[in-house]
Structure 1
């Protein structure tokens, strides 16, 4: 992560960039999350962040920051390739935890409720 700074990854981008990221995130979030769930110590927060990012009531800048972090998470090629056992998701975890810390007050109870519902419904698949 030395060459790529987390702050650069988390830039919200313009509306076109956010739309492109949202499509990638919607298409790839669940398969990627299922692979990484056991390695992410704050899975509930990540799922709640997903619901916050796709919620049209979330402020645009917050959505942009979350979509940037989630897009980084779902991309198969990043600073540390996700296929590497144990360490593959460490950079993703760093980016996600930074984004969540930055916008935490914008993740609402309804986002956590949605995360709880998904995680409770599919414990063997997550």
Structure 2
């Protein structure tokens, strides 16, 4: 996805909609993808992250929130594949701002949602 597509979905992002999606679909989303989404969520809250990077993050998270996208989320096994791609591109753009604090915040939230066992095997 290029940046213009991210901008299209940025309007779908809000903190409350993101958290509702995470809370309601945590198990079906899976620990690894949810961890990546949470890293983006927390890094976007850092004041030193440039607006252009935040716009890309909000676009990816907006795309993630929407249930009907290129591949609808309710299709078991593949529904979050396009969401994963959007999140990975945004992570690539935001990677230099993702520090240990962001990773720890994401891990704490993930453990709270799915339990400590969800943290096993996560990539930093």
Tell me the TM-score range normalised by the shorter chain: 0.7 to 0.9
Question: Paired residues, what number?
Answer: 112
In 2: Cα distance, 1:76 partner to 1:122 partner:
20
Say whether the 8 Å CA contact 2:71–2:80 is kept in structure 1.
yes
TM-score relative to the length of structure 1: 0.73
Task: Please state whether the residue corresponding to 2:46 is helix, strand or coil.
Answer: coil
Poorly superposed stretches of 4+, deviation over 6 Å: none
1:104 corresponds in structure 2 to 95
Q: Pick which of 48-57 and 91-100 moved more.
A: 48-57
**1:48 & 1:65 partners in 2: Cα distance?**
14
**1:37 paired residue number:** 29
Give deviations 1:34-68, integer Å, cap 9, x for gaps: 42432x63432221111112333321111111000
Query: Where does residue 6 of structure 2 map in the other structure?
Result: 10
Root mean square deviation, CA, Å? 2.4
Tell me, in whole angstroms, the C-alpha distance in 2 between the residues paired with 1:105 and 1:82: 29
Preserved contact between residue 9 and residue 69 of structure 1 (Cα < 8 Å): no
The equivalences for 1:6-85 within 5 A come to: 6-7=1-2, 8-11=4-7, 20-21=11-12, 24-34=13-23, 35=25, 36-38=28-30, 41-85=32-76
TM superposition score normalised by structure 2: 0.74
- Mark the runs of 5 or more structure 2 residues left unpaired by the alignment: 119-124
Q: Is the 8 A contact 2:29 2:80 kept in 1?
A: no
Check whether the contact 1:80–1:88 (CA below 8 A) recurs between aligned residues: yes
